[in-house]
């Protein structure tokens, strides 16, 4: 093993990089101190149970773990809020509330391998403990605006949502918990069309109109009006309006937007939630919200609100593309490329450069502000995730194989239809044995999840292509693979025995680009919908 390189997700920072980080940290910590916040520092390692007790939404697999001398499970601090709540409920228990605390610390999270994410994230943030109500929310959001003003000179905005909105709507619709979680995921991922379809059985409920639109309700304050026009006045919407007006009065109105589909981590946050987007950054640079139940979990019930700035992200130099209003679309080379071109042409876009690409990989459309980039399917996701492409067209198979990814999946484009299936040699009794079965697949993540959900332990063997060979050569008992016409299976004596998931081409969007280039991206989505409609005519 090469011990000279740094572990994946970590980096050495040299000279100018250190300078940029220190400058951003200096700006933020000075701002927090000027506003009466006192610095707090907690250990880099904490007991794993601390985060369990707090109901913290960071998944177990994202925490970096260590075992201490007595065998107790420790984690590298995955966030700063929980340890600060622990201190507030113990060492600071006798101190009067509200308490204003700030931190300048690194948090540690293990990301997926080879995706270019960082495991060490330097954060600067505040926690305002023991203060509830609108005044405290105005103070925290104003400070968030000031913070980004100090470190994002190219422009930024902060969007507000309300954690209770989705929860209340789902309760009102009497959705079973599993259905509500499915709807939450669709809203969080901005699956515009899929959400509507999923909620179809609830169409007669009064909350339906708003819930079905929730993923699309982001932008300026007109979003609140649209929401109210759908279901009338609701306490969460009234509160967001009141908060906005108060922020306007203190001169922060310009920086504020809304995203009523901000429904992440719903059990943790209890009121206003917010995210900051900076011109140039491909991911949110600030994240925060009200969490009134956390201190209570440590025995000192009190309301609280806080936010953290990702200092690494704001100190970085951004790619030029992010400042450009011209869209960049990553297209999966081959069949999906041809089908996307057909769809765009039906919507009136001149795609002649993409139709005769030669060896060129980037093509500008002559009559629409869009550059098309030709890439392999998994790379389409990578370019969109990192924000160097605003949009991508990629198969659901690739999305499922990548697992949880931070991008919006806005449209099912309706072409590239096929399915993932479990297939065996004809005559095999796959389920009728206790022996651990061997599964060959190009999609190990999809296959693992499928069998995990069934509670079956299997051995997965990754194959790069022509997976059908594996059972023929008796390397595997079955395959999990794409089936389109079924011809490859038939001609090789295999039969599908269970469907795993349907597959088709999807339009995906970078989360930050969706907010910063909203008009351009919505126009392109509309064009795609036009192309889809004209093909079904």
Chain residues in the site for ligand PRP (CB under 6 A): 465-468, 481-488
386-398 in b/e form (b: 16+ CB < 10 A) is ebbbbbbbbbbbb
The Cα–Cα gap between 439 and 424 comes to 10
**Number of Cβ within a 10 Å radius of residue 94:** 5
Burial label for 235, CB within 10 Å (0-12, 13-18, 19+), is exposed
Order across the sheet with 407-412: list the strands. Answer: 362-364, 370-375, 327-332, 391-395, 505-510, 407-412
Query: Which residue's CB is nearer to ligand PRP, number 267 or number 484?
Result: 484
* Omega before residue 284 within 30° of 0, cis: no
Q: Which residue has the tokens 């093993």?
A: 1
Measured CA to CA, the distance from residue 273 to residue 295 in angstroms comes to 17
Task: Specify the residue, 236 or 481, whose C-beta has the smaller distance to ligand PRP.
Answer: 481
Residue placing its CB nearer to ligand PRP in the complex, 12 or 491: 491
> Which residue number, 124 or 380, has a Cβ lying nearer to ligand PRP?
380
- Residue closer to ligand PRP by CB (options 199, 482) is 482
- Closest approach, Cβ 240 to ligand PRP, in A, equals 48
As measured in angstroms, the least distance from the Cβ of 461 to ligand PRP is 15
Taking the complex as a whole, how short is the minimal distance between the CB of residue 145 and ligand PRP, in angstroms? Answer: 49
Which residue(s) pair with 102 in the sheet? 39, 126
Q: Supply the minimum distance, in Å, between the C-beta of residue 479 and ligand PRP.
A: 9
- For 348, the 3-state DSSP assignment is coil
Closer by beta carbon to ligand PRP, 265 or else 488: 488
Tokens of 147: 């913070």
- Minimum Å gap between C-beta 401 and ligand PRP is 12
* Smaller CB separation from ligand PRP, 93 or 335: 335
In angstroms, what is the minimal distance from the CB of 491 to ligand PRP?
A: 8
What's the CA gap between 10 and 12, in Å, rounded?
7
| CB of 122 vs ligand PRP, minimal distance in Å | 42
């Amino acid at each position: 093993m090469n011990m000279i390189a740094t572990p994946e997700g970590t980096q050495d920072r040299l000279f100018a990089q250190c300078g940029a980080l220190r400058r951003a940290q200096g700006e933020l910590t000075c701002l927090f101190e000027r506003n009466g916040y006192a610095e707090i520092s907690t250990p880099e390692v904490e007991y794993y149970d601390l985060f369990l007790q707090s109901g913290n939404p960071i998944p177990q697999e994202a925490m970096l773990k260590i075992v201490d001398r007595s065998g107790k499970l420790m984690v590298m601090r995955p966030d700063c809020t929980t340890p600060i709540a622990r201190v507030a409920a113990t060492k600071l228990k006798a101190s009067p509330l509200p308490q204003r605390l700030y931190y300048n610390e690194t948090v540690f999270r293990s990301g997926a391998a080879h995706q270019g994410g960082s495991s060490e994230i330097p954060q600067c943030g505040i926690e305002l403990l023991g203060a509830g109500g609108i005044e405290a929310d105005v103070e925290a959001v104003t400070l968030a605006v000031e913070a980004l003003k100090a470190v994002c000179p190219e422009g930024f905005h902060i969007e507000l949502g309300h954690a209770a909105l989705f929860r209340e709507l789902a309760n009102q619709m009497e959705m079973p918990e599993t259905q509500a979680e499915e709807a939450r995921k669709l809203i969080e991922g901005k699956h515009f069309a899929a959400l509507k379809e999923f909620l179809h059985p609830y169409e007669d409920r009064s909350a339906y109109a708003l819930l079905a639109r929730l993923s699309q309700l982001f932008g300026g304050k007109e979003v609140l009006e649209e929401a109210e026009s759908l279901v009338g006045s609701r306490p969460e919407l009234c509160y967001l309006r009141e908060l906005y007006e108060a922020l306007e009065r203190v001169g922060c109105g310009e920086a504020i937007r809304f995203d009523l589909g901000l429904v992440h981590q719903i059990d943790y946050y209890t009121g206003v939630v917010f995210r900051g987007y900076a011109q140039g950054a491909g991911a949110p640079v600030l994240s925060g919200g009200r969490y009134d139940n956390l201190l209570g979990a440590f025995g000192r019930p009190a309301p609280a609100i806080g936010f953290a700035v990702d200092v690494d992200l704001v100190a970085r130099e951004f790619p030029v593309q992010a400042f450009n209003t011209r869209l960049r679309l990553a297209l999966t080379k081959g069949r999906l490329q041809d089908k996307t071109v057909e769809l765009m042409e039906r919507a009136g876009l001149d795609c002649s450069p993409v139709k005769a690409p030669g060896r060129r990989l980037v093509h500008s459309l002559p009559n629409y502000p869009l550059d098309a980039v030709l890439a392999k399917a998994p790379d389409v996701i990578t370019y969109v995730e990192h924000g160097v492409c605003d949009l991508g067209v990629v198969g659901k198979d690739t999305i499922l194989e990548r697992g949880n990814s931070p991008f919006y999946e806005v449209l099912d484009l309706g072409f590239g239809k096929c399915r993932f299936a479990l297939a065996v040699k004809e005559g095999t009794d796959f389920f009728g044995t206790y022996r651990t079965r061997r599964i060959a697949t190009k999609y190990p993540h999809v296959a693992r999840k499928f069998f995990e959900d069934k509670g079956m332990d299997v051995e997965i063997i990754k194959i790069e292509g022509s997976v059908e060979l594996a059972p023929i050569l008796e390397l595997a008992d079955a395959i999990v693979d794409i089936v389109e016409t079924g011809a490859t299976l038939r001609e090789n004596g295999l039969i599908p025995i269970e469907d795993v998931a349907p597959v088709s081409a999807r339009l995906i969007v970078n989360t930050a680009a969706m907010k910063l280039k909203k008009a351009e991206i919505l126009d392109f989505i509309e064009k795609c919908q036009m192309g889809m409609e004209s093909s079904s005519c």
